[in-house]
Structure 1
Amino acid sequence: MNRFKIDRRLILAIVVIGLATVVWLLLTIGLIASTLDSAQRAVLAEQLAPRFVLIGMTWVFGLVAIASTLRWLFRRYASAPGRLLEQTKVLLAAPRAAPMNHLGTTETQALAEVIFELAAQRDTLRADVATQIAQASLSVQQEKNRLAALMSELTQSVVVCNLDGRIILYNSRARLQFKALSVAPTLAGGAELVGIGRSIYAVFDRQLVAHALESIQQRLSRGAGSPSAQFVTTTQAGQLLKVQMAPVRNVDALGSAAEISGFVLMLDNVTRAFEEEHLRDQLLHGLTEGSRSSLANIQAAVEMLAFPDLEAPMHERFLTVVREEVHSMSARINDMTQQATQGLKARWPLEEMLGADVLLATQRRIEARNQRPVTLENLDASVWLKVDSFSLTQALDYLAMRLVDEFDVKFFRLRLQASGNRAQLDLIWSGQAMSTETVMSWEMDSMRFGAESTPLTVRDVIERHGGEMWFERERVRHEAFFRFLLPLASVQEQLEATQILQSDSRPEYYDFDLFQTTDQSSALEDRRLSELSFTVFDTETTGLNPSEGDQIIQIGAARIVNGKLLRQESFEQLVNPGRLIPAATVPIHGITQDMVKSKPPITQVLPAFYSYAQDTVLVAHNAAFDMKFLQLQERNTGLVFNHPVLDTLLLSAVVHPNQESHRLEAIAERFNITVLGRHTALGDAMVTAEVWLRLLPLLQAMGIITLRQAREAAQKTYYARLKY
């Protein structure tokens, strides 16, 4: 938006001057006429009458010349102080001063340079203070890092909430588990459930949590030192969760624990365990009922066999009954044992690991136990495995030990490479050939390591992984190898595991300041802007006419909670528009038809975005455009986006009425914000979020503190008249 806005003061000045010139002209004619007699006045009127149009045109041209001169003078002298004031306020709100590039009089330009120098000195002082604070708080930061590392490495999902149920901390495992609980985990990474400032009641029933809290408070009142509560609940996605709750208590000045300020939830998905337990109960019940019948038949047969005068055919018949029932009972017990063993194997944890890490662990183990060198070859560093690394390395170590003991193999090589949707892991050696029967016996024997033994076999390990193993010879190279065919981690699991590895043992997801917030009884409109949570979003579309069939092709969003931009909790999703993307728009947003053809339609994406934005205020740049696209989908989705909406374009015009441009790039330049990913939905949303954080203190300085005041101020601007 770069429309020129005419200052009312300039219009008023032109009107006053125009009226003054008309009055001056009339007075001049009147004075001249008063010096003439009636005949002369008649002649003068006769001469001027045909020339009134010329006189009027001369007056108009003169007024235009005066107006142009006034406009130039006004922009140079009258507007310059206003622009300088706005730029100075930007310097006050900005974290770091940027050159002002002020256009005005020589005096205001000199003043702008002095103001910039003062702001630069302020930045230097801020940096010095920040350095001193960082040094003073080094010990606190170390404790914080220890907590970060602990939270990041926990294998259990941990979520910390304040008393209102707002999430203030969660670890990576919780993020992955909440994604699994999502109704649509593949949309935008399942981002609609978890997040700083989000309500835990999107997953758990409020009454259930309240009951557990009440139970803890009662135990505290009775003097319990470390009370906790447990409950099991079913999520909307049908998952069964076991939850342990512990209180977070404030500490008073004397160091003793005071009232509860929040609670910690430790989550465990017990869906599979519950199903396995139910299956075991069914197996036990079937065994009991079947054995009862068999035992009754055996007892009856034994009683009949006790008769001494029993005829031989009957004697043989009852012996047959005993044999059959014993065989039946034995078969049932064997079946139950096998199923129980499978259940035991199924409870082994499979984790996503880099294949290189698995091979390095195996290399160290074989070299340490067998005193044989092991080299790695053709190692594909991009291969991720879903394995139980302990049992797998144990099986490889066992096979290497048998080769050393029985064939005196001198060295080994390990090789890993992807093959379709599986990975091939090879244990290679050179030496004497071995028979297939020997391989099969090694595969089926329980693994023993000197005095240590385990009931597991190599075959058990392979079956647990759903893989295969075989023996091959390479006669030309005089080599042989065991090949393990193992499952690859899914693409999403690889991405998530990579994100966890790259977190540097630091939890990204916490905001302890939220312990201080509580739900307000006042209406949302009257709440302070600093207390609200915001979803800043942007859309990319097929065109600029939503009412004429253009559709959304991408939605990007980020959340602002407690005055902080949560970059790691972003929402980004491509959308299949169900129509062709015009070729002319592709260079703008970079989204092609191939990129969206396999993506979900807007009717599937909007419910996830609606959940993501729940309980927040929507913020967008030129929000009327984006909201029109959402409103046109109300009939198709049944979702009404009745969230409060703020527009950074309108609010920029409120804060900076003397600036000619309120385009996103122009505002970002004024605030010294680096623009990355322009014309991508998430990139524009991030820039808009940064702009909103800069506008907040400027609005507060103008007395615009509440949501209602911000919306009312925005509606009074010129740009609020734009419609789509």
Structure 2
Amino acid sequence: MNARDRLFIAVIVLGVLMTGPFVITALLVWASAQAAEQALLVQLIMPHLSLGAMMTLFGFAVGLLVIRYLFRQYVQGLLRMAESLRLMLSANRNFRVDPEGPPEVQLLALAANALAEQRDGLMDDVDAQITTAKASVEEEKNRLAALMSELAQAVVVCNVDGVILLYNSRARLQFRALAQGSTAVAGGALIGLGRSIFSILERNQIDHALEVVRQRLGKGAAAAIANFITTARGGQLLRVQLVPVLATTDDSLQREMTGYVLTVENITRSIEQESRRDQVLQSLTDGSRGSLANIRVAVGNLMDYPDMGLEIRERFVGIISDEVVRMSQRLDQTMTEFADSLKTRWPLEDVLGIDIIAAAQRRIEQQLGLPTKTEEIQEALWLRAESFSLVFSICFLASRLIDHYQIKELRFRLLPFGKLAYLDLIWAGHAMSSETSYTWETEAMQVGKEASPLSLRDVIDRHGGEIWYEREKAAHRAFFRFVLPVASPDSRVPGEVIDESGVRPEYYDFDLFHFQDQSIDLDRSLSDLTYTVFDTETTGLEPAAGDEIIQIGAVRIVNGRLLRHENFDQLVDPERFLRPEGIRIHGITDDMVRGQPNIEAVLPAFHDFCCDTVLVAHNAAFDMRFLQLKEEHTAVVFSQPVLDTLLLSAVLHPNQESHQLDSIAERLGIGIEGRHNALADACATGEVFLKMLPLLARMGIVTLRQALEASEKTYFARVKY
């Protein structure tokens, strides 16, 4: 029996107690009286019956108010206290009961808070002991996380069913660069914990590689590794190496494979370079055969017929000369193209120009004893360079300047010029001739006892740059100018995108080794499901009246963990002006959404991001209405189950006054940053949902079906948009 039923019974009892004794007494008196007495009673009572009824109703109303007051103070107050105690016991240990209501209830609240303080002290002691015991395990885990995050190769770990258990930043960036179609919007390729690797790589090739590994394991091979080359959706060539993850067993002869590690390398550019080189060499070979044949015939005729006429001899000599010229041109062209290919094979990398200058300054000051300074430095300028050879070249020039011109100081200047950068080495003193400059460029470099077989010109050519010598006559200064390429996204190999988040992402969850079924089963445990928590920002609150979505933010929950870095965050062009009152709330302006993808491009990408997962939102009816109104126009249907944290809060805490996201988060001890930003609100909703799961389990709500049925019974489930 719930509290409302008890209140209804109390009101009935009050009415019976107030009218029952009077009615029974009147009936008994009436029954025992004679007819004359009954007529007299009617004559006496009837004129005052209305006053008695009014007094009775007044007393009933006063009694009803008293009962309602007592019910709210004692019954509902104690129910709220019980909900607060459950919050302290499970979701938010820092939560405390407000000592409000009658003195007896306040004393009970104070006693409960005192018990909570004692409980927290004991839990702190236990947590300290657990932390000490887990220190070594955490250290190993952090080492693994650091190793995986910093690896230059793309690494993905999967279980035997192809479910992704771990991946590093390089893998995320590489697959994002290869994304095509709707997956290229806002989220990149669909790589993520709990997702299938077969959405990225071909299942048949991985299955074949696994079969090869199993055969080698069966034969007792020491290194059971399989390699294959596959084509990504965008036509990029990927070299994949598969290494098995073997279970540790007491029997060393039994090696069961529980998963595998994939290392992925994009070889598209290297294959193109090798193909180009092969074409150049083939062209040289085919062209040289014809020229050599002509030369051989001409020389043979000259040798066989020494007495031939002068005109014929000159003709054969001309043939030889022409063919030699053609071969020389062909060789020059081949060497030029082959040299360009060699340049691209140099290990150039993106490096800050200020770091190159700082390294050169240290070496010049330490090895040569020459003071250095900087002027006009563009600190945020990135270069595409091989840092060691470039620093060595700068030190070589400094050494030559000291030996020949006894310079006292060397200054550095770094400025951008379009897609190029000017790195200047400036000194005051004597001017040098162009012959000296050319000699320094072409001779093998040496600084002290360190020597290099490369010349300064070799280094500059292999960077695809130039070096100039110029004078500043007014300032009586001269400088060498290195013209170098600026690093840009267009110059990077696909997949080699710099991650500027500054935060090492957590992309590992080894508990998923035992996770197999990914279907959405309504009778499956809530703790075993994969969720997509999402939120939208809109132009207004009336989806049926023409308001549009302007931002979608979403984050995934896998194996009970909120994966903040596996998110979807995309602004949407509503193709209409935003309302000023809405801008004050969400902070999104017309300039921010102009040029962004429209809803027809964003919804398919969001559908790909959240497919095969349960959707979670706060006040989900509002967000889902916007999505449903776009179904006919975009042909994108979100048919998966939806859980609403607002409804779940009403299930868990029906006696609380507010079920807004901020109030729920405060009750559960969750801080919200960036309110009314779709992604930030989605993250906050995800944390709220995770806190709710153990509370639902204590109520016996453990499956998705039970959560949906309990939500449908709440008052808020009747709200429509």
Q: Distance in 2 between matches of 1:105 and 1:392?
A: 80
Q: Distance in 2 between matches of 1:282 and 1:22?
A: 109
Q: Distance in 1 between matches of 2:463 and 2:175?
A: 25
| Residue number among 199, 202, 213 corresponding to 1:202 in the alignment | 199
TM-superposed deviation, 1:70: 2.8
Q: Distance in 2 between matches of 1:228 and 1:530?
A: 35
In 2 relative to 1, CA 144–444 (structure 1 residues): closer, same or farther, beyond 3 Å?
same
Q: Is the 8 A contact 2:92 2:668 kept in 1?
A: no
For 1:139, the aligned partner's letter is S
Instruction: Provide the residue aligned with 2:339 in structure 1.
Output: 341
Q: TM-score, normalised by structure 2?
A: 0.89
Q: Secondary structure at the match of 2:469?
A: strand
TM-superposed deviation, 1:319: 2.1
Q: Secondary structure at the match of 1:524?
A: coil
| Residue number among 80, 97, 100 corresponding to 1:100 in the alignment | 97
Q: Distance in 1 between matches of 2:35 and 2:384?
A: 114
Q: Distance in 1 between matches of 2:126 and 2:37?
A: 89
Q: Is the 8 A contact 2:182 2:602 kept in 1?
A: no
TM-superposed deviation, 1:474: 2.6
Q: TM-score, normalised by structure 1?
A: 0.89
For 1:237, the aligned partner's letter is G
Alignment of 1:634-649 (within 5 A): 634-649=631-646
Instruction: Provide the residue aligned with 2:598 in structure 1.
Output: 601
For 1:296, the aligned partner's letter is A
- 1:707 and 2:704 correspond: yes
Q: Secondary structure at the match of 1:137?
A: helix
Q: Secondary structure at the match of 2:426?
A: strand
Alignment of 1:232-631 (within 5 A): 232-252=229-249, 258-308=255-305, 309-418=307-416, 422-443=420-441, 445=443, 447-449=445-447, 456-490=454-488, 497=498, 499=500, 502-503=502-503, 508-519=506-517, 524-631=521-628
In 2 relative to 1, CA 110–235 (structure 1 residues): closer, same or farther, beyond 3 Å?
farther
Instruction: Provide the residue aligned with 1:174 in structure 2.
Output: 171
| Residue number among 683, 687, 691 corresponding to 2:684 in the alignment | 687
For 1:478, the aligned partner's letter is H
Instruction: Provide the residue aligned with 1:109 in structure 2.
Output: 106
Q: Distance in 1 between matches of 2:47 and 2:304?
A: 152
Instruction: Provide the residue aligned with 1:72 in structure 2.
Output: 69
TM-superposed deviation, 1:496: 6.6
Moved more, 464-473 or 604-613: 464-473
Q: Is the 8 A contact 1:97 1:120 kept in 2?
A: no
For 1:325, the aligned partner's letter is E
Over the aligned positions, Cα root-mean-square deviation in angstroms equals: 3.4
TM-superposed deviation, 1:619: 1.0
Moved more, 568-577 or 377-386: 377-386
Q: Is the 8 A contact 1:188 1:572 kept in 2?
A: no
Deviations 1:135-172 (A, max 9, x none): 33333333334333333332211121222222222222
TM-superposed deviation, 1:487: 3.9
Moved more, 173-182 or 96-105: 96-105
In 2 relative to 1, CA 476–609 (structure 1 residues): closer, same or farther, beyond 3 Å?
same
In 2 relative to 1, CA 600–287 (structure 1 residues): closer, same or farther, beyond 3 Å?
same
In 2 relative to 1, CA 362–333 (structure 1 residues): closer, same or farther, beyond 3 Å?
same
Unpaired segments ≥5 residues, structure 2:
none
TM-superposed deviation, 1:526: 2.1
Moved more, 476-485 or 59-68: 59-68
Deviations 1:57-96 (A, max 9, x none): 8777665544433322211112222222211111122253
In 2 relative to 1, CA 516–344 (structure 1 residues): closer, same or farther, beyond 3 Å?
same
Q: Distance in 2 between matches of 1:498 and 1:361?
A: 24
Q: Is the 8 A contact 1:575 1:605 kept in 2?
A: yes
Q: Distance in 1 between matches of 2:34 and 2:594?
A: 89
Q: Is the 8 A contact 1:417 1:424 kept in 2?
A: yes
In 2 relative to 1, CA 122–210 (structure 1 residues): closer, same or farther, beyond 3 Å?
farther
For 2:581, the aligned partner's letter is A
In 2 relative to 1, CA 440–632 (structure 1 residues): closer, same or farther, beyond 3 Å?
farther
TM-superposed deviation, 1:673: 1.2
TM-superposed deviation, 1:55: 8.4
Q: Distance in 2 between matches of 1:316 and 1:58?
A: 143
Q: Is the 8 A contact 1:179 1:185 kept in 2?
A: no
For 2:314, the aligned partner's letter is E
Q: Distance in 2 between matches of 1:350 and 1:228?
A: 30
Deviations 1:398-428 (A, max 9, x none): 3223322332323312233445655432212
Q: Secondary structure at the match of 1:7?
A: helix
Q: Is the 8 A contact 2:280 2:334 kept in 1?
A: yes
| Residue number among 120, 129, 132 corresponding to 2:117 in the alignment | 120
- Identity of counterpart residues, as a percentage? 50
In 2 relative to 1, CA 636–429 (structure 1 residues): closer, same or farther, beyond 3 Å?
farther
Deviations 1:563-602 (A, max 9, x none): 1222233332222211111001111111111222232222
Q: Is the 8 A contact 1:553 1:574 kept in 2?
A: yes
Q: Is the 8 A contact 1:249 1:257 kept in 2?
A: no
Q: Secondary structure at the match of 1:265?
A: strand
For 1:273, the aligned partner's letter is S
Moved more, 215-224 or 479-488: 479-488
For 2:398, the aligned partner's letter is A
For 1:388, the aligned partner's letter is E
TM-superposed deviation, 1:662: 0.8
In 2 relative to 1, CA 278–85 (structure 1 residues): closer, same or farther, beyond 3 Å?
same
Instruction: Provide the residue aligned with 1:141 in structure 2.
Output: 138
In 2 relative to 1, CA 8–418 (structure 1 residues): closer, same or farther, beyond 3 Å?
farther
Q: Distance in 2 between matches of 1:523 and 1:184?
A: 26
TM-superposed deviation, 1:368: 4.3
- 1:665 and 2:662 correspond: yes
Moved more, 220-229 or 126-135: 126-135
In 2 relative to 1, CA 41–588 (structure 1 residues): closer, same or farther, beyond 3 Å?
farther
Q: Is the 8 A contact 2:227 2:241 kept in 1?
A: yes
- 1:158 and 2:189 correspond: no
Q: Secondary structure at the match of 2:482?
A: strand
Q: Is the 8 A contact 2:176 2:184 kept in 1?
A: no
Deviations 1:21-43 (A, max 9, x none): 78788768767876585998699
Q: Secondary structure at the match of 1:525?
A: coil
In 2 relative to 1, CA 186–352 (structure 1 residues): closer, same or farther, beyond 3 Å?
farther
Q: Distance in 2 between matches of 1:397 and 1:186?
A: 48
TM-superposed deviation, 1:454: 5.1
Q: Is the 8 A contact 1:187 1:573 kept in 2?
A: no
Moved more, 589-598 or 185-194: 185-194
Q: Secondary structure at the match of 2:636?
A: coil
TM-superposed deviation, 1:604: 2.4
TM-superposed deviation, 1:516: 2.9
Deviations 1:645-669 (A, max 9, x none): 1111111111112222111111111
Aligned residues: 714
Q: Distance in 2 between matches of 1:360 and 1:204?
A: 43
Deviations 1:217-263 (A, max 9, x none): 11111101221111111112322110101011121357887411111
Moved more, 21-30 or 669-678: 21-30
Q: Distance in 1 between matches of 2:76 and 2:226?
A: 66
Q: Secondary structure at the match of 1:352?
A: strand
Q: Is the 8 A contact 1:191 1:612 kept in 2?
A: no
Q: Secondary structure at the match of 2:567?
A: strand
TM-superposed deviation, 1:195: 2.5
Q: Is the 8 A contact 1:156 1:266 kept in 2?
A: yes
In 2 relative to 1, CA 114–218 (structure 1 residues): closer, same or farther, beyond 3 Å?
farther
